[in-house]
Amino acid sequence: MISEEASHIINGVEGSIDTSDLGTNVGDKTIVPSKYHKNENFKTDKEKDNVVKAFTETYGGKKTDYYVDWNRYKKNENYREEVNYYYLIALNLSQAIEEFKNFPERYTEVLQKEALFHNMIDGKIKVTGNLNRKFVNKENGREIVFTHDLKNVVKDTNNVGTFNYYTYEKVYELDSLKHSIDIYNWLKYGTGINDKSTYLERYDYFELGTEISINYNSIKKWAEDRKITHIGRKELENYYRDKKGGK
């Protein structure tokens, strides 16, 4: 579990930023206002130590395993955005597990066509069989991914739950466009400081997943009829070929 000292980003980073409007409603829900994304949120030695502590307590290892260039953090706003995001991700994983255990009613399960982005392996996406399930808290941006039977939290870097700067109820509301920031964060930075995937690998998954999501029910039935569990580019080509041929 993340220590109490490292748990202040939603309620405020101790002694460094004015957080009076964190978590305020804009449209459906703004969790982290944009002015904080690239802010120098960690200035004191204690605050900086808490960032690294969040990484070690969430992912294991030693402090030396998670290097943060604090000089660069101070001078480069893009690097600040990256470190701030990784910190939120680390907090999310630990806090979401604890919160879901004590208050499961705060979480809503998303549709499988959305959860498919947490069923990725070896360049393909699993659409049939035992699928990972995703739950989100639309009040605080946390999300958590479980195995199909809800017995284990998914923690592998391809499929782990991340963190939402914005949440929304209705897909087509104007405010839901802000959710693209969360997609941007994942594409640019991955699922955490320990994610070794590349931008291109994530973008390939994003394109594949979006295409499957748009045609989810049809592709799922096609796959089930053929006892196919994972969909990649080759399977999509076969799906479109069969659909065109009326099969």
> How do residues 43-98 score in pLDDT, each as one tens digit?
999 999 999 999 999 899 999 999 999 999 999 999 999 999 899 889 888 888 88
Amino acid at 40: E
Question: What's the DSSP call for residue 63?
Answer: G
**What would the pLDDT profile of 60-75 be if each residue is shown by its tens digit?**
999 999 999 999 999 9
Residue 234: pLDDT above 80? yes
Which secondary structure element, helix H or strand E, spans residue 113, and what is its range?
Answer: helix 112-115
Model confidence, pTM:
0.79
> Which strands sit side by side in the sheet containing 120-121, from one edge to the other?
120-121, 124-126, 230-231
pLDDT band per the 50, 70, 90 thresholds, residue 247: low
User: Tell me, what's the pLDDT at 94?
Assistant: 81
Q: Hunting for tokens 């470190």 — which residue is that?
A: 83
**pLDDT above 50 (res 15):** no
Q: Is 247 exposed, middle or buried (0-12, 13-18, 19+ CB in 10 A)?
A: exposed
Task: Say if residues 190 and 85 touch (Cβ distance below 8 Å).
Answer: no
Q: Positive or negative, the Cα torsion across 35, 40, 45, 50?
A: positive
